[in-house]
Amino acid sequence: MLETPVILETGLPGRVTVQRITTADAVAFADHVEGDLPRLSEHLPWPEVTRTPDGAAEWLGRYERHEDGRVDVGGVWSGAALVGGALLHHHDPDYAVVEIGCWLTAAAEGGGVASAACRVLLGLARRELAAERVEWHVSTLNVRSRRLAERLGFTHEGTMRSNYVLRGDRLDTDVLSLVGAELDPFVQ
């Protein structure tokens, strides 16, 4: 889906793009994760396993092979530095549903990077996957992510209790969504 880099309008200096990350980027991805591991792993399970080139290649390869409903993962590059990304996963084409997620390093926080990347992927989900429903699942402890979803227009639908396990702790998850015509403004 992310066949070519897309230039993002952000508050960061210089050129910022989102583009597909593949197994060929495993070393850069692992370095990116390792460089901000405590922050990235605060709410996400995958940074721990993607902090090495082999782990990153395995994780990115699942997106290349579209395993388990994985669609695409796009990295956000500020110049030559990988500063975050967004992804589409848990795609169910029969029901036209997909989940979106994102992450950001501390260095890029506050520059509108995550929201810009998510807008691109929301447009691709609507246009290329014919998505009728895009879900945003977030731990109730991850206030920044929930606020981002709400700024993008997502509606809170409810909270799933004790459905998410992170490093042995059971957590609750808020579920938010955009449906139908709510996705149309993201299509360019």
What does the pLDDT look like over 95-140, one tens digit per residue?
999 999 999 999 999 999 999 999 999 999 999 999 999 999 999 9
Helical ranges in 137-177 per DSSP H: 143-151
Q: Domain 6-132 has what CATH class?
A: alpha beta
Task: State mean pLDDT over 138-158.
Answer: 98
44: phi then psi, degrees, rounded to nearest 5? -120, 145
Asked whether residue 35 carries a pLDDT value surpassing 90, the answer given is: yes
Asked if 149 and 136 count as a contact pair (C-beta separation under 8 A), the reply is yes
Determine the pLDDT at residue 128.
97
Averaged confidence pLDDT in the chain: 97
Determine the pLDDT at residue 188.
82
